Amino acid sequence: MSLTIEIAFECLGEKEAASLEAVLAPDNHPLPRGQKLVSRREGKTLLVSIASLRPSNCVSSALSLLADARLYAQVWALAS
Protein backbone atom coordinates (compact mmCIF):
# COMPACT_ATOMS: atom_id res chain seq x y z
CA MET A 1 0.00 0.00 0.00
CA SER A 2 1.26 3.46 -0.82
CA LEU A 3 0.23 6.81 0.64
CA THR A 4 0.48 10.35 -0.69
CA ILE A 5 0.03 13.41 1.51
CA GLU A 6 -0.25 16.87 0.01
CA ILE A 7 0.22 19.98 2.13
CA ALA A 8 -0.44 23.57 1.05
CA PHE A 9 1.22 26.33 3.06
CA GLU A 10 -0.36 29.73 2.40
CA CYS A 11 2.23 32.38 3.19
CA LEU A 12 1.96 36.16 3.51
CA GLY A 13 3.66 36.63 0.15
CA GLU A 14 5.95 35.11 -2.47
CA LYS A 15 9.06 36.10 -0.50
CA GLU A 16 7.83 34.20 2.56
CA ALA A 17 6.89 31.16 0.44
CA ALA A 18 10.40 31.09 -1.07
CA SER A 19 11.94 31.45 2.37
CA LEU A 20 9.82 28.63 3.81
CA GLU A 21 10.74 26.39 0.88
CA ALA A 22 14.44 27.09 1.53
CA VAL A 23 14.02 26.34 5.25
CA LEU A 24 12.26 23.02 4.58
CA ALA A 25 14.61 21.96 1.75
CA PRO A 26 17.32 20.42 3.98
CA ASP A 27 14.72 17.93 5.23
CA ASN A 28 14.28 16.63 1.69
CA HIS A 29 17.42 14.46 1.75
CA PRO A 30 18.19 11.73 2.47
CA LEU A 31 14.72 10.28 2.08
CA PRO A 32 13.80 6.80 3.26
CA ARG A 33 13.84 4.17 0.53
CA GLY A 34 10.63 4.22 -1.48
CA GLN A 35 9.70 7.78 -0.50
CA LYS A 36 9.41 10.83 -2.75
CA LEU A 37 9.05 14.49 -1.73
CA VAL A 38 8.26 17.23 -4.23
CA SER A 39 7.69 20.91 -3.48
CA ARG A 40 6.69 23.77 -5.73
CA ARG A 41 5.57 27.36 -5.29
CA GLU A 42 2.50 28.96 -6.81
CA GLY A 43 2.68 32.61 -5.88
CA LYS A 44 2.40 32.87 -2.10
CA THR A 45 1.50 29.17 -1.71
CA LEU A 46 4.06 26.44 -1.13
CA LEU A 47 2.78 23.01 -2.14
CA VAL A 48 4.47 19.88 -0.79
CA SER A 49 3.65 16.34 -1.86
CA ILE A 50 5.02 13.35 0.05
CA ALA A 51 4.56 9.84 -1.34
CA SER A 52 5.77 6.61 0.19
CA LEU A 53 5.34 2.89 -0.11
CA ARG A 54 5.35 2.83 3.70
CA PRO A 55 2.47 4.90 5.12
CA SER A 56 4.16 5.34 8.50
CA ASN A 57 7.19 7.01 6.84
CA CYS A 58 4.89 9.30 4.88
CA VAL A 59 2.94 10.39 7.96
CA SER A 60 6.14 10.87 9.97
CA SER A 61 7.66 13.08 7.25
CA ALA A 62 4.45 15.13 6.97
CA LEU A 63 4.35 15.69 10.74
CA SER A 64 8.01 16.71 10.71
CA LEU A 65 7.40 19.23 7.91
CA LEU A 66 4.41 20.68 9.76
CA ALA A 67 6.46 21.05 12.95
CA ASP A 68 9.30 22.74 11.05
CA ALA A 69 6.86 25.09 9.31
CA ARG A 70 5.26 26.00 12.64
CA LEU A 71 8.69 26.80 14.11
CA TYR A 72 9.52 28.89 11.02
CA ALA A 73 6.27 30.86 11.46
CA GLN A 74 7.06 31.53 15.12
CA VAL A 75 10.59 32.72 14.34
CA TRP A 76 9.33 34.83 11.41
CA ALA A 77 6.73 36.47 13.71
CA LEU A 78 9.38 37.27 16.33
CA ALA A 79 11.69 38.78 13.73
CA SER A 80 8.99 41.05 12.31
CA-based nearest residue to 48, from 1, 6, 80: 6
CA dihedral sign, ordered 36, 51, 39, 67 = negative
Q: Are 19 and 68 in contact (CB under 8 A)?
A: no
Q: What is the mean pLDDT of residues 6-11?
A: 96
Average pLDDT over residues 4-29: 88
pLDDT of 17 over the 60 cut: yes
Walk me through the domains of the chain, giving residue ranges and CATH numbers.
Answer: 3-79 (3.30.310.50)
Task: List pLDDT tens digits, range 20-64.
Answer: 999 888 655 687 889 999 999 999 999 999 999 999 999 999 999
Question: CA 17, 18, 23, 28: dihedral to nearest 10 degrees?
Answer: 100
